[in-house]
Amino acid sequence: VAEGLRRALSDLDIEWKNEHVTVTASFGVTAALFGELDINGFFGRADAALYRGKEDGRDCVRVAVHSQSA
């Protein structure tokens, strides 16, 4: 879904003040871990993935790397 949104934004033909403007976006995605009750961990992983995408050159989708402790 995030990749589809990213492509759709990139494909938009936007004209502003007689110029064509390109829109790009980066997305960080994650999944809720089984039994995860603290939403901060969820958003923290997505945020880290987003910033990894920005460091990788922007206009991309990055999936959070996570592990679940037993």
Between the CA atoms of 14, 17, 20 and 22, what dihedral angle is there, to the nearest 10 degrees? Answer: -60
**Angstrom distances, CA of residue 17 to CA of 14, 21, 69:** 10, 9, 53
Query: Which residues, given as ranges, of the chain have pLDDT below 70?
Result: 66-70
What is d(CA 1, CA 5) in angstroms, rounded to the nearest whole number? Answer: 6
Q: Could you identify the residue written with the tokens 């991309």?
A: 60
pTM: 0.78
- Asked whether 28 and 53 are in contact (CB, 8 A), the reply is yes
> Percentage of the chain with pLDDT > 90?
74
Condensed to tens digits (0 to 9), the pLDDT of residues 30-48 reads: 998 888 888 898 999 999 9
